[in-house]
């Protein structure tokens, strides 16, 4: 298959998962683009996808498109305003462009709250009218051996199969044994990650706390608010030295980024957490692409 057009590219997880050449990446975040350029050797285009013109996208020879649009319109934290949320505009703006430019494959990721949304209804209607076969499902990396829950909606639409549409929103069962969390941790965690005991006591039972020594530990999804919101933005770790946050590099490891992937040296930890929390679970992307028959089997 030909090159990939990576839209809402962030850190570039979709390109890493898919492999092969990337025709172009597009994202309006300067911090994401700086990190992307450092690791991928080419800079994303800093376009606003809510206003991109058809001719701008038609200029790329890219039969495969990946879209990771913002999830806030479909989350409780983001007030679930669906298509009324301005952050949903870019996805909705792209629908007629997809239908006219007709890439061979269009794939997308979002939060489970996208499933009942009107935006998904419009996405499906546009793709079906343009002759695509849809493969939709929820998938969590914890079912693929990753010690992290990050249940997400995935769509792979193909223009070349004529197959019936498939949507599966049941909870999948674990397919492989979970790898130990300990193997994803920094050997020398930075002292700034540790929390004062009083803060930990203040959490009571509301924080999700996992133990480094627990071979079955599974962390909860890290969101872009990790480090900013004390609760429901990701797990904390208890190790021999105390209770701490996971480092942004540990979050990337849990998302399946390669070991050499790095943030710009001067980038603050809060920005790193935000970018990592916005990104994709690479093993889950590989699995859905393999299942839809547009890439090889997922790496183990
Ligand atoms: C959920 S994140 C996707 C992250 C990406 N998949 C990754 O590997 O890190 C959404 C991304 O869309 C970008 N974005 C949001 N609205 C945009 C717009 N209107 N135009 C371009 N990029 C946008 C954000 O900057 C953010 O990086």
Which CATH number do you get for residue 26? 3.40.50.150
pLDDT for res 104: 96
**CA separation for the pair 100, 193 (Å, rounded):** 48
3-state secondary structure of 44: coil
**CA separation for the pair 145, 180 (Å, rounded):** 9
Q: Helices 30-40 and 269-277 sit at what angle, rounded to 10 degrees?
A: 80
Gyration radius of the chain over CA positions: 19
Count of domains forming the chain? 2
Tell me, yes or no, whether 98 and 213 share the same domain.
Answer: no
**CA separation for the pair 43, 33 (Å, rounded):** 6
pLDDT for res 28: 98
Tell me, yes or no, whether 133 and 216 share the same domain.
Answer: no
Q: Which of 29, 52, 111, 224 to mutate to test the pocket of ligand 1 (most atoms within 8 A of CB)?
A: 29
| 27 CA from centroid of ligand 1 (Å) | 5
What DSSP element (H or E) covers 120?
Answer: helix 118-129
For atom 5 of ligand 1, the residue with the nearest CA is 10
52 CA: nearest ligand 1 atom: 20
Tell me, yes or no, whether 238 and 270 share the same domain.
Answer: yes
87 CA: nearest ligand 1 atom: 16
pLDDT digits (tens, 9 = 90+) for 129-139: 999 999 999 99
From first to last of its 300 residues, the chain has per-residue pLDDT tens of 689 999 999 999 999 999 989 999 999 999 999 999 999 999 999 999 999 999 999 999 999 999 999 999 998 777 889 999 999 999 999 999 999 999 999 999 999 999 999 999 999 999 999 999 999 999 999 999 999 999 999 999 999 888 899 998 887 777 788 899 999 999 999 999 999 989 988 887 888 999 999 999 999 999 999 988 888 899 999 999 999 999 999 999 999 999 999 999 999 999 999 999 999 999 999 999 999 999 866 665
Contact 186, 249 (CB under 8 A): yes
Any residues with Cβ below 6 Å from ligand 1, and which?
Answer: 8-14, 26-29, 32, 48-50, 68, 70-71, 90, 278-280
Tell me, yes or no, whether 162 and 240 share the same domain.
Answer: no
**Does residue 234 lie within any of the structural domains?**
yes
pLDDT for res 276: 98
Burial of 42 (0-12, 13-18, 19+ CB in 10 A): exposed
For atom 14 of ligand 1, the residue with the nearest CA is 8
279 CA: nearest ligand 1 atom: 9
Tell me, yes or no, whether 31 and 165 share the same domain.
Answer: yes
Contact 139, 284 (CB under 8 A): yes
Pick from 14, 114, 134, 113: nearest CA to 64: 14
110 CA: nearest ligand 1 atom: 1
**Does residue 132 lie within any of the structural domains?**
yes
**Beta-carbon neighbour count of residue 56 at 10 Å?**
15
**CA separation for the pair 82, 282 (Å, rounded):** 26
Tell me, yes or no, whether 285 and 141 share the same domain.
Answer: yes
Residue 209 dihedral angles phi and psi, to the nearest 5°: -120, 125
**Does residue 36 lie within any of the structural domains?**
yes
Residue 130 dihedral angles phi and psi, to the nearest 5°: -85, 5
The answer to whether residue 140 is catalytic is no
> Chain centroid to CA 219: how far?
16
**Does residue 297 lie within any of the structural domains?**
no
Assign residue 192 the CATH number of its domain: 3.90.120.10
The bridge status of strand 133-139 relative to strand 148-149 is unpaired
Q: Which of 278, 280, 282, 288 to mutate to test the pocket of ligand 1 (most atoms within 8 A of CB)?
A: 278
Residue environment code for 57-90, b if the CB has 16+ CB neighbours within 10 A, otherwise e: beebebbbbbbbbbbbbbbeebeeebeebeebbb
Tell me, yes or no, whether 55 and 76 share the same domain.
Answer: yes
For atom 2 of ligand 1, the residue with the nearest CA is 278
pLDDT for res 37: 98
- Tokens read off for 134: 């849809």
pLDDT for res 204: 79
Q: What percent of the chain has pLDDT over 90?
A: 84
For atom 11 of ligand 1, the residue with the nearest CA is 8
**Does residue 252 lie within any of the structural domains?**
yes
**Does residue 229 lie within any of the structural domains?**
yes
| 243 CA from centroid of ligand 1 (Å) | 31
Tell me, yes or no, whether 154 and 248 share the same domain.
Answer: no
**CA separation for the pair 235, 250 (Å, rounded):** 12
pLDDT for res 230: 86
Tell me, yes or no, whether 200 and 136 share the same domain.
Answer: no
Contact 284, 140 (CB under 8 A): yes
Tell me, yes or no, whether 158 and 189 share the same domain.
Answer: no
Unique residue bearing structure tokens 């980024």: 257
Q: Of these residues, 71, 105, 123, 275, which one is catalytic?
A: 71
Tell me, yes or no, whether 239 and 93 share the same domain.
Answer: no
- Domain containing 40 equals 4-170+280-291
3-state secondary structure of 68: coil
> Chain centroid to CA 198: how far?
33
**Does residue 300 lie within any of the structural domains?**
no
**Does residue 176 lie within any of the structural domains?**
no
| 9 CA from centroid of ligand 1 (Å) | 6
Is the backbone of residue 235 left (phi > 0), alpha (psi -120 to 50) or beta? beta
pLDDT for res 231: 86
Tell me, yes or no, whether 23 and 165 share the same domain.
Answer: yes
């Amino acid at each position: 298959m030909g090159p990939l057009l990576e839209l809402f590219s962030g850190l570039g997880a979709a390109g890493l998962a898919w492999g092969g050449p990337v025709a172009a990446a597009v994202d309006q975040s300067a911090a994401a683009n700086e990190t992307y350029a450092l690791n991928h050797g080419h800079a994303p285009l800093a376009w606003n996808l809510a206003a991109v013109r058809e001719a701008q996208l038609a200029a790329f020879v890219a039969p495969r498109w990946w879209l990771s649009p913002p999830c806030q319109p479909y989350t409780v934290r983001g007030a679930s305003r669906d298509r009324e949320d301005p952050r949903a505009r870019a996805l909705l703006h792209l629908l007629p462009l997809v239908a006219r430019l007709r890439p061979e494959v269009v794939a997308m990721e979002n939060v489970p709250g996208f499933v009942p949304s009107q935006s998904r209804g419009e996405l499906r209607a546009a793709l079906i009218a343009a002759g695509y076969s849809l493969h939709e499902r929820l998938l969590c990396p914890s079912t693929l051996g990753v010690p992290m829950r990050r249940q997400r909606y995935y769509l792979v639409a193909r223009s070349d199969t004529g197959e019936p549409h498939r949507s599966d929103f049941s909870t999948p069962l674990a397919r492989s044994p979970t790898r130990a969390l300990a193997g994803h941790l920094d050997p020398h965690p930075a002292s700034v990650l540790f929390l004062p005991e009083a803060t930990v006591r203040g959490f009571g039972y509301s924080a999700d706390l996992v133990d480094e020594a627990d071979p079955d530990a599974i962390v909860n999804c890290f969101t872009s608010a990790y480090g900013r919101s004390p609760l429901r933005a990701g797990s904390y770790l208890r190790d021999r030295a105390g209770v701490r946050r996971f480092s942004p590099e540990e979050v990337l490891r849990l998302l399946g980024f390669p070991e050499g992937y790095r943030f710009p040296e001067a980038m603050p930890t809060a920005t790193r957490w935000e970018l990592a929390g916005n990104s994709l679970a690479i093993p889950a992307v590989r699995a859905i692409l393999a299942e839809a028959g547009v890439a090889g089997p997922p790496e183990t």
